Amino acid sequence: MRIFKISDYKLIKIDLNRNDEIIDYGVKMVGAPLEWSETMGEGIKVGIIDTGVCTSHPDLSGRIADGVNFTLEDTGTFEDYNGHGTHVAGIVAAEKNGMGVVGVAPKSELYIAKAFDKSGKTDYGAIEKSIFWLIDKKVDVINMSFSSPNTFPRYKNLIHFANQKGITLICAAGNDGANGKNTIGYPARFNETIAVSAVDINKKVADFCSKGNSAEISAAGIDIYSTFLNNGYAILSGTSMATPIITGAVAILQAKGVMRYHRKLTPDEIRLLLNIYTEDLSGLGKDDRYGYGLFSFGRIAAGDYVDEYEALRSITNRIGLNTNVKELLIAMLR
């Protein structure tokens, strides 16, 4: 049996209640509040494969469109008994309701596939069922804050199939940076996915962050405040926390595409936008820790982007992007 686990994370603090509203620095760093006057991700379907969700949480209950449980744990519900999935869900879509926290895309719709049990472990079968379920639900983006060092043809084919269905796949790079180079696991290492690295409030990559050629985008992932078990809140660290920031950003991008051009963006188009509108944090261009750098809606608003030809060339080499979409995409969000 092939065993998978959610990416290891560090729990810093738990709050059992919150009467005021907090916008975490990670949500601000990605520039999400700049977009909320236009869209908060309305109508965009976000899939999350994780440990489930705290279904009664006041910041999340109104955002959950559907859910399913593919574990052997409490099979009648997709309730979270670990906390990881609830924290991830809040980063994506916690409601702006005057209390608690606010997610990147606070009006997006969550589709929760519980594939990991209380211990944070699962097998390939649960992941496969989760992805097929989310395909059937016609989600626009899937968040996968988990990692494995191993791959096999059936897994690769599954990811390719989901991508061909028009779903953008956002994955944690992993937290194995202490183990040397080329430590990014799967599914983040597949060509069809977007691997997310974690940085701190000073935009420095985390020491624990996995490294490798697949590193693509960075987002805040250290000391992130979000929803947790028992209708509470917690501060967690890990690439698992950076990943849903980018997933939420994809929901905003998709909503903007629908509003302005009356269609959803393809995974290739989303990837190009994420890669172009980045801040190069290493000064080296694309590298094996930050990827292209820190994505921010602030750079879109300023018309500030890295060399689009470099980004385009890299993406074309990986997935054969049609270069005719370049000018449309660069102009689209100005």
**Measuring CA to CA, which residue among 231, 235, 224 is closest to residue 55?**
231
Beta bridge partners of 121: 5
Contact 205, 242 (CB under 8 A): no
Q: Would you state the structure tokens that stand for residue 237, as one six-digit string?
A: 């660290």
**Measuring CA to CA, which residue among 153, 204, 145 is closest to residue 173?**
145
Contact 142, 49 (CB under 8 A): yes
Query: Which residues have CB under 8 Å from 70's CB, separation 6+?
Result: 113, 114, 115, 122, 125, 126, 129, 130, 133
What are the φ/ψ torsions at residue 278 (nearest 5 degrees)?
-125, 155
Q: Would you state the structure tokens that stand for residue 25, as one six-digit string?
A: 């620095």
Judged by DSSP in three states, 313 sits in helix
Measured distance CA(243)–CA(274) in Å, rounded: 13
Judged by DSSP in three states, 239 sits in helix
Q: Active-site residues: which are they?
A: 50, 84, 240
Residue 213, CA distances (Å) to 144, 279, 286, 292, 319 in order: 19, 18, 9, 11, 15
Q: How many Cα atoms within 13 Å fall on the side-chain side of residue 261?
A: 14
Interhelix angle for 267-276 vs 239-261, to 10°? 110
Secondary structure element (H or E) that encloses residue 261, with its range: helix 239-261
Measured distance CA(277)–CA(251) in Å, rounded: 16
In sign, the C-alpha dihedral spanning 187, 191, 194, 197 is positive
Q: Would you state the structure tokens that stand for residue 299, as one six-digit string?
A: 């750079």
